[in-house]
Amino acid sequence: MARKRKFIELVEDWEMEYGPHKFKYKDLCYLTTKGFRDKKVLGSGGFGRVYRGIVPTSEIEVAVKRVSHESR
């Protein structure tokens, strides 16, 4: 029987000083952008739309790019 390996997240030295900059997909995309709502769109580019979001735990404003499946 094959076992699934879990990946260990490595924390780099600079992250200890400035805080974590890695987010789970669910946290970054859906919670910050409220599910990629159209009213949160900042613009679009060659690879997809860019959404305005706010990180719930720190209230920091972020831009999240949702890459389009049609982009090449």
What pTM was computed for the model?
A: 0.62
How far apart (Å, rounded) are the C-alpha atoms in residues 57 and 7? 24
* Domain-located, residue 1: no
Cα(17)–Cα(19) distance, integer angstroms: 6
Q: Is residue 44 part of a domain?
A: yes
Q: What pLDDT is recorded for position 42?
A: 94
Domain count, the chain: 1
Classify residue 15: in a domain, yes or no: no
At 2, the amino acid letter reads A
User: What is the CA 56 to chain-centroid distance, rounded?
Assistant: 12
Q: Binding-site residues, please?
A: 65
Mean pLDDT of 5-17: 67
CATH value at residue 27: 3.30.200.20
Q: Which domain holds residue 33?
A: 21-67
pLDDT value of residue 52 = 92
Distance from C-alpha of 52 to C-alpha of 43, rounded to nearest angstrom: 9
Q: Which residues are annotated as a binding site for ATP?
A: 65
Is 7 among the domain residues?
A: no
